[in-house]
Amino acid sequence: MQEKKIIHLFEERSELAIEETRKQYGGLIRSLLYRMLGNMEDTEECENDTYLGLWNSIPPTKPKNLKAYLLKIARNRALKRVEYLGASKRKEDNRIPFEELTEFIADNQNKIDDFTETDLAECLNEFIGNLNENNRKVFMLRYWHFLTVKEIMVECNMSKSRVESILYRVRGKLKKYLIEKNML
């Protein structure tokens, strides 16, 4: 079923909307949540919370891209769940990738809070758009898809040191870019 039809079902408050969303995007959502959470019980709970969040937000929201909107809800639910469970207990390789960025964000949280989510999104989109294809792919696999370094190695056919080097350099470039944009 097309996204527009699914959104229309949500607007009509038809329970078929959840069923169709689960058919079309359930595997993708479960995959993302499992990578973030590491166990099926939490994954299933967050998946159900994701559908509830979608149900409660449409209407009034009418997303332009249902898949991206749904993934954003799922990621936010999983991040809240990880925070609740205590991220410090996780294995180092499976830690939430955003923890890697906190080294320069934490010191500047007050300044970051002054900007809207739209400002930050536009800035990040511009930064990511200026990366070369290889760096952009590694960066997105880590910070959007939450793949581990090992998974990125396989996906991109790179050595561990190459993946880690790219991530390190791109984080440095991001910090410099945010400073230049007066966001840090």
Give pLDDT tens digits for 108-123.
444 444 556 667 778 8
Tokens 């997303």 correspond to what residue? 63
Which residue carries 């923890």 as its tokens? 99
pLDDT of 109 reads 47
Q: What is the pLDDT of residue 59?
A: 87
- pLDDT value, residue 76: 87
Question: In whole angstroms, what is the distance from residue 138 CA to residue 80 CA?
Answer: 24
Q: What is the pLDDT of residue 121?
A: 74
What's the per-residue H, E or C state across the chain? CCHHHHHHHHHCCCCHHHHHHHHHHHHHHHHHHHHHHCCHHHHHHHHHHHHHHHHHHCCCCCCCCHHHHHHHHHHHHHHHHHHHHCHHHCCHHHCCCHHHHHHHHHHHHHHHHCCCHHHHHHHHHHHHHCCCHHHHHHHHHHHCCCCCHHHHHHHHCCCHHHHHHHHHHHHHHHHHHHHHCCCC
Domains of the chain with bracketed CATH: 3-89 (1.10.1740), 97-180 (1.20.140.160)
Give CA–CA dist 71/33, Å, rounded. 9
Confidence at residue 101, expressed as pLDDT on a 0 to 100 scale = 63
Q: What is the pLDDT of residue 94?
A: 46
Question: Quick one: pLDDT at residue 99?
Answer: 59
Q: pTM for this structure?
A: 0.62
Please identify every stretch of the chain with a pLDDT value under 50, giving residue numbers as ranges: 88, 90-95, 106, 108-113
